[in-house]
Each structure stands twice: as C-alpha cells, then as structure tokens.
C-alpha cells in the first residue's frame, strides 16, 4: 500500500515529470542520431569515397536534426514549457555527444564544440516550441 502512495506522489511531482520527459526525448534524439549515422556510414561505404570537407557539416546537420527531434518529443510528452524543456533536452543530448566524443578521441574540447552546443540547444528549443504551439484540429 505504501508503494502505491509513493508512485502516486512521483507522478504528481512536476520535477519528476519534467525530468522524465527530458530524458525520454533525449533518448529518442540519440537513437535517431545513431540510426542516421549508420545510414550515412553505409552510404559512404557503398560510395567508396568520403569527401573530407563534407563530414563536419554532415555531423552538425545530424546533431541539429536529432536535437530538434529530442526537443519535439520532450515537449509532446510534457505538454508544457516546450521552449525550456526542448532546450534542456538539446543540452543533455549535446552533453552525451561531448562525453562520448571525449572518451573516443581523448582530444581537448575545441571552439566547434561550443558552437555545436549553441546550435543544438537552439534547435531543441525550436523543436519543443513547435511541438507545444502546434494547434490540433478538431474534426
């Protein structure tokens, strides 16, 4: 009986609900990014030639798209505060990318990481804003 009251208390807690939606949105963004990275890797292997000047813009585009999706899903789950929650999901997704990049490369953080963070936070916020402000049509 006590555990049901505890779960009810967690469902009513706005911080828990916000954190849950931000984490779920970030996971969706990370899964989308992994799927798109796999598709692009397959395309590059099939093509046989990888233009080196295309890799950095492609990675930034994938980051923007996945951050937008993370913000959109976060706001759809929470149904409120799309701008703030979307920005936070974009920031969390950037932190995941940064940590995984630092673990893989062991190189110091560069200026491009700051630019990528700013772009991902903004695109996550835009995704969240669009998800909350989108009017549903009544039939």
* Axis-axis angle for helices 52-78, 14-47 (nearest 10): 150
pLDDT at site 1: 45
Q: How far apart are CA 17 and CA 15, in angstroms?
A: 5
pLDDT at site 105: 81
* Axis-axis angle for helices 111-133, 52-78 (nearest 10): 40
Q: How confident is the model at residue 123 (pLDDT cuts 50, 70, 90)?
A: very high
Residues 13-56 pLDDT 10s: 778 888 898 999 999 999 999 999 899 888 878 877 777 888 88
Q: Is the pLDDT of residue 128 over 50?
A: yes
pLDDT at site 80: 85
Give this prediction's pTM: 0.81
Rg value, the chain, Cα: 18
């Amino acid at each position: 009986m006590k555990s049901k009251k505890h779960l009810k208390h967690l469902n009513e807690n706005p911080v828990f609900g916000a954190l849950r939606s931000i984490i779920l949105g970030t996971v969706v963004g990370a899964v989308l990014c992994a799927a798109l990275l796999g598709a692009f890797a397959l395309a590059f292997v099939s093509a046989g030639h990888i233009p080196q000047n295309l890799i950095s813009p492609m990675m930034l585009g994938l980051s923007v798209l996945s951050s937008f999706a993370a913000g959109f899903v976060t706001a759809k789950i929470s149904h409120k505060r799309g701008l703030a929650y979307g920005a936070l999901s974009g920031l969390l997704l950037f932190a995941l990318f940064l940590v995984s990049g630092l673990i893989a490369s062991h190189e110091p953080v560069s200026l491009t990481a700051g630019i990528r963070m700013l772009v991902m936070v903004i695109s996550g916020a835009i995704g969240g804003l669009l998800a909350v402000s989108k009017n549903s049509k009544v039939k």
